[in-house]
């Protein structure tokens, strides 16, 4: 198994009306994602940020990071602990799936990856759509249940169940993830 850790939409300004509902679940998940990222990075697993550009078509990823960790940004509590390191990879996406109109396929092929560990926000939209497209491309999927969040617990549970039953994802706690 050659795995990569995908952090989906974690660099997020949370500038939308229902943000408090998501932040309630995303802040604890961000701490778990940060711990998993540290452990997997030490094991040599590539770290890939797959992030929406949130309609900022003339922005780049570094500008987005600075905006999302800035004072007064609602997403700062999530983005702050998850700031990428210099040797991490990133892919900007225009829509829900990390594969749609991006270079993610090419990057994963370059890295020789066959297994994706999916984390991020929201479990029932962007994580789910990325998982679906990854499954269609024959990737093995691992989804740490404590490293994803939606606006509601029922939304997260439904997405995890769908990924488990329909996409053959291994859904487990982040502490149980082992890589070679």
pLDDT tier at 44, thresholds 50, 70, 90? very high
Q: How far is CA 13 from CA 23, 54, 103, 117, 169, in A?
A: 11, 9, 23, 23, 29
pLDDT at position 3 is: 98
Residue 56's pLDDT band (boundaries 50, 70, 90)? Answer: low
Question: pLDDT by residue (tens digit) across 63-118?
Answer: 899 999 999 999 999 999 999 999 999 999 999 999 999 999 999 999 999 999 99
Residue from 66, 116, 62 nearest 90 by CA: 62
SS3 178: coil
Q: Report residue 141: phi and psi, to 5°.
A: -120, 140
66 φ/ψ angles, rounded to the nearest 5 degrees: -60, -40
**Is 89 within 8 Å of 102 (Cβ atoms)?**
no
For residue 108, the enclosing domain spans: 3-176
Helix (H) or strand (E) holding 6: strand 3-8
**Which two structure tokens, joined as six digits, stand for 56?**
């900022």
- pLDDT, tens digit (0-9, with 9 covering 90-100), for 130-161: 999 999 999 999 999 999 999 999 999 999 99
Specify the length of the chain in residues.
180
Helix orientation angle between 153-166 and 128-136, rounded to the nearest 10 degrees:
10
- Distance CA(99)–CA(104), nearest Å, equals 6
For residue 163, how far is the Cα from the chain centroid? 14
Give the DSSP letter string of 16-59: STTHHHHHHHHHHHHHHHHHHHHHHHHTT--EEEEEE-TT-TT-
Q: What is the pLDDT of residues 16-40, one digit of tens each?
A: 889 999 999 999 999 999 999 999 9
CATH number of the domain that residue 136 is part of: 3.40.50.850
Q: How many domains does the chain have?
A: 1
Burial class (CB in 10 A: 0-12, 13-18, 19+), 87: exposed
């Amino acid at each position: 198994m050659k795995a990569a850790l995908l952090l989906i939409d974690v660099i997020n300004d949370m500038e939308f009306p229902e943000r408090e509902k998501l932040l309630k679940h995303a802040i604890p998940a961000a701490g778990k994602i940060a711990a998993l990222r540290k452990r997997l990075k030490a094991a040599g697993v590539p770290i890939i940020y797959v992030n929406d550009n949130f309609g900022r078509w003339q922005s780049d990823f570094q500008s987005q990071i600075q905006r999302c960790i800035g004072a007064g940004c609602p997403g700062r509590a999530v983005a702050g602990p998850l700031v990428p390191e210099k040797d991490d990879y990133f892919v900007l996406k225009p829509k829900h799936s990390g594969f749609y109109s991006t270079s993610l396929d090419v990057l994963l092929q370059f890295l020789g990856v066959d297994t994706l560990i999916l984390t991020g926000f929201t479990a029932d939209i962007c994580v789910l759509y990325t998982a679906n497209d990854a499954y269609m491309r024959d990737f093995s999927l691992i989804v740490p249940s404590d490293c994803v969040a939606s606006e509601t617990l029922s939304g997260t549970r439904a997405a995890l169940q769908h990924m488990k039953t329909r996409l053959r994802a291994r859904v487990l706690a982040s502490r149980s993830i082992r890589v070679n």
